[in-house]
């Protein structure tokens, strides 16, 4: 006998579980279908930065709304998200000073606690940093990082407490439709019925969408990450995105630093790729740049590496929209930045599903049709592509 649910969410990463939580808060009983296990895809490999600095206003709004969840997690969601306040710096090359100032002004209008500070101020804040190759940076003292797996599981636990169901080790093999509407999903564990299906399948989202007759321009983006031993001479440092060196880093506990590059991720991998091998030259390139910014890291060492994969859209921005048959929704293409905005994404998509439009934030810029129309998203003070 086919089991009937109010909604089916494909993917138990942080976005899918956020959607399940927000739908369950509104009284629905969703089924979350996960091909492997909770947070086993992009979420489990996320670097977990919590910051609001973007060059596109809607992304900053998503991050700002989501930030209110992270700093009030136990009260708003329940459980823990592991948020650690470290402060956050955005360093851009000198030729991006106008963009940096423009974006900080945009963030300040939203109410975000941020400012432009000088290289000398950065040096006072973080004595271990080399501040010779930039003049100014954006600084968010309240930002930091959180634990992606803990966050995803907290969303899930709260969703289940409100009536959601999780089915793991289960792959979707087909989307059932009738009269132009979705009616359910076929899976390796049977058939399930629902009038709403949400595709939150990460790197697999394009394959799932095809089952509903929807073609998503989604590439697989592969991301190498290293955890480095941080020598005592380095001391504390904040989270950092360094546009001048195309890298980012953040503390990982008291004695480690997580670091990665913003380039070299387009390898043509399959979404089913399980290979955990980093690119052959990744560590050499990464450590060279980390030491340019923090010279004392020269005496550090390698703790571990890991590899993550996500779906990358042509403008490196997500899709949050209805597409194809009625009742089929896309929540994918987050392009490596979905973790920090997942609370707002879940709130907005649940509003779109239940109310016909998102009210927390206007998500119309994240429409699906923009790709066919050639209307790719770009900020007023654009830094260029994040992933190169």
pLDDT-flagged residues of the chain (< 50): none
Q: What is the CATH number of the domain that holds 277?
A: 3.30.9.10
In a domain, 119, yes or no: yes
**CATH code, domain carrying 204:** 3.50.50.60
Residue where one domain finishes, among candidates 262, 279, 309: 309
Q: Are residues 223 and 352 in the same domain?
A: no
Do 257 and 109 belong together in one domain? yes
pLDDT, tens digit (0-9, with 9 covering 90-100), for 94-128: 999 999 999 999 999 999 999 999 999 999 999 99
Chain segment 212-264, per-residue pLDDT in tens: 999 999 999 999 999 999 999 999 999 999 999 999 999 999 999 999 999 88
Distance CA 242, CA 357 (A): 36
In a domain, 7, yes or no: yes
Q: Rounded to the nearest 5°, which phi and psi values hold at 109?
A: -65, -30
In a domain, 379, yes or no: no
Is 136 inside a domain boundary?
Answer: yes
- Dig out the tokens for 118 from the structure: 């000088």
Indicate the pTM of the whole model.
Answer: 0.97
Domain match, 189 and 248 both: no
pLDDT of residue 283: 97
User: Do 237 and 115 belong to one domain?
Assistant: yes
Q: Residues 6 or more apart from 313 whose CB is under 8 A from it?
A: 216, 217, 218, 319, 333, 335, 371
* Number of compact structural domains in the chain: 2
Question: 184 and 260: one domain?
Answer: no
Angle at 95 between CA 89 and CA 98, to 5 degrees: 70
Per-residue pLDDT, 268: 82
**pLDDT at site 264:** 83
Range of the domain at 184: 3-45+149-216+315-373
* pLDDT at residue number 375: 96
202 shares its domain with 257: no
């Amino acid at each position: 006998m086919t089991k009937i649910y109010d909604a089916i969410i494909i993917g138990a990463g942080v976005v899918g579980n956020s959607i399940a939580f927000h739908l369950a808060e509104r009284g629905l009983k969703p089924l979350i279908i996960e091909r492997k296990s909770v947070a086993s895809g992009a979420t489990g490999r996320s670097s977990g930065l919590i910051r609001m600095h973007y060059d596109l206003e809607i992304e900053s709004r998503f991050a700002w709304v989501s930030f209110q969840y992270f700093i009030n997690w136990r009260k708003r969601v329940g459980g823990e998200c592991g948020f650690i306040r470290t402060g956050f710096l955005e360093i851009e090359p000198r030729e991006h000073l106008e963009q940096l100032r423009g974006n900080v002004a945009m963030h300040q209008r939203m109410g975000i606690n941020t400012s432009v500070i000088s290289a000398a101020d950065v040096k006072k804040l973080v004595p271990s940093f080399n501040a010779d190759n930039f003049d100014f940076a954006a600084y968010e003292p309240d930002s930091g990082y959180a634990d992606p797996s803990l966050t995803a599981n907290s969303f899930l636990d709260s969703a289940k407490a409100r009536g959601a169901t999780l089915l793991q080790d289960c792959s979707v093999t087909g989307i059932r439709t009738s009269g132009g509407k979705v009616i359910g999903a076929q899976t390796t564990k049977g058939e399930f019925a629902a009038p709403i299906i949400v595709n939150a399948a990460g790197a697999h989202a394009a394959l799932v969408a095809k089952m509903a007759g929807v073609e998503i321009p989604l590439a697989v983006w592969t991301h190498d990450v290293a955890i480095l031993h941080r020598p005592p001479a380095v001391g504390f440092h904040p989270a950092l995105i360094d546009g001048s060196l195309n890298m980012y880093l953040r503390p990982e506990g008291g004695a480690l630093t997580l670091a990665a590059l913003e380039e070299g991720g387009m390898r043509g991998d399959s979404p089913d790729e399980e290979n955990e091998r980093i690119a052959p030259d990744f560590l050499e390139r990464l450590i060279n740049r980390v030491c340019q910014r923090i010279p004392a890291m020269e005496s550090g060492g390698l703790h571990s590496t890991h590899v993550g994969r996500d779906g990358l859209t042509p403008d490196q921005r997500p899709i949050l929209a209805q597409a194809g048959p009625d009742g089929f929704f896309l929540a994918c293409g987050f392009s490596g930045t979905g973790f920090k905005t997942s609370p707002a994404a879940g709130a907005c998509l649940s509003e779109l599903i239940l109310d016909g439009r998102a009210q927390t934030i206007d998500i119309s810029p994240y429409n699906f049709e923009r790709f066919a129309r050639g209307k790719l998203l770009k900020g007023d003070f654009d830094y260029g592509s994040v992933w190169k």
